[in-house]
Amino acid sequence: MSQPNEQQAAPVHFMQKERLRAEAAVEQTPVHTGEVKKETQIIAIYGKGGIGKSFTLSNLSYMMAQQGKKVLLIGCDPKSDTTSLLFGGRACPTIIETSSKKKLAGEPVEIGDVCFKRDGVYAMELGGPEVGRGCGGRGIIHGFELLEKLGFHDWGFDYVLLDFLGDVVCGGFGLPIARDMCQKVIVVGSNDLQSLYVANNVCSAVEYFRKLGGNVGVAGMVINKDDGTGEAQAFAKEAGIPVLSAIPANEDIRRKSANYEIIGRPDGQWGDLFATLAQNVADAPPVRPKPMTQEALLGLFAADAVGRNVVLQPATNADMMGRDIVVKPSLEVIYDEV
């Protein structure tokens, strides 16, 4: 059978290019902004490590439970510290370590082995491998596979809150966004460049998967340790997402959090703040964010604070070798054009 020549292949190649252009030009379906139809709201919370996600989520989930909601909090951080504040500093067995022990003993994992509760809040930790002994993202995937076997999709919660690191970019940590496992995402940040860089990355991930046909949107931002300088507020405005709450940089909050004390109590000093946050989290629709460029993100801060006055100076071979370089003539033969 004869092979197609270049003249025959060219029209086919042209048609493929035109078809791809046509597909790329199709406007994506906008993010649903009406009432969430699923009975359970699954919300993924992302932020830079140490920004206060665990503090925010422990108090938020506690307040939701006091308001009569059935809440499940799942820590998806290899440090397994999401539930530490909720449980007064006590570490609960993680799904990954429990699964390994049960497998060696030839026993199945039961829900009571990995899920624990306090004052109406149900909580568990996925966990992760020890340093240098495995992939944290793969551990997240394995953990969710086990949750599905335990009946995750049949559980009857009002809210499932997933605590994810935002500054780890491997696939497992992007699972809720990439696989539409949640309806909306919330980012936690502060008035510092690194936390807003992570928040912007999360917005970029949401937008990327939207272009691939995903349905997850960003419900808003929680500003933690807010000192009033305004950079996080400015970021939220530029990214087109609402601020759900601004938790102040307050010594009383810092001290109580360090002592594993829940402050999200209806009758406490900070009760109104977390009650409002709980309502905003419940009501906020998922929106399609507008990620910022690196230069625009830097522009939220004073130039001297983020080094925008620095000029990039190209290095030379002499710099790299630590001595002057003698340029030798090339031995390449160059022919004059005919």
pLDDT digits (tens, 9 = 90+) for 247-262: 999 999 999 999 999 9
d(CA 220, CA 287): 8
Nearest by Cα to 276 from 109, 17, 67 = 67
- Please state which CATH number belongs to domain 41-187+250-286: 3.40.50.300
323 φψ region: left (φ > 0), alpha (ψ -120 to 50), beta (else):
beta
272: tokens are 């109104």
- Percent of the residues in the chain that have a pLDDT greater than 70, as a whole number: 82
71-76: strand order across its sheet: 116-118, 121-125, 71-76, 159-165, 41-47, 184-189, 217-226, 243-248
Choice among 48, 184, 225, 256 that is catalytic: 48
Phi, psi angle pair for 267, to nearest 5°:
-100, 10
pLDDT for residue 15? 67
Check residue 290 and report its DSSP letter. -
Could you identify the residue written with the tokens 């409002």?
Answer: 276
> Which amino acid, residue 241?
I
d(CA 196, CA 33): 24
Catalytic residue among 53, 184, 225, 256: 53
Q: Which whole-number Å values give the CA distances from 132 to 141, 179, 282, in the listed order?
A: 18, 27, 39
Give the best-scoring range by mean pLDDT among 34-48, 62-76, 116-130, 298-312: 62-76
C-alpha to C-alpha distance for 266 and 118, rounded to whole angstroms: 16
Is 53 in the active site?
yes
pLDDT at 117: 94
More confident: 324 or 4: 324
Catalytic annotation, pick one of 81, 113, 158, 167: 167
Spans of all domains in the chain: 41-187+250-286
The pLDDT of residue 313 is above 50? yes
- Residues 280 and 247: beta-carbon distance below 8 Å: no
The per-residue pLDDT for 29 is 46
4 has pLDDT over 60: no
At 28 the pLDDT is 47
The CA distance from 4 to 26, in Å, is: 32
Residue 11 CB coordination number (10 Å): 9
**113 belongs to the catalytic site:** no
The verdict on whether 79 is a catalytic residue reads yes
Tell me the pLDDT tens digit for each residue of 179-227.
888 999 999 999 999 999 999 999 999 999 999 988 999 999 999 999 9
Q: What number is the average pLDDT over the span 62-74?
A: 96
Residue 153 DSSP code:
G
Burial class (CB in 10 A: 0-12, 13-18, 19+), 65: buried
Between helix 271-283 and helix 53-66 the angle, nearest 10°, is 90
Catalytic residue, from 70, 79, 117, 290: name it: 79
Question: Is 48 a residue of the active site?
Answer: yes
**Relative orientation angle of helices 231-239 and 193-211, to the nearest 10 degrees:** 10
The overall average pLDDT reported for the chain is: 85
**Displacement of CA 328 from its chain's centroid (Å):** 53
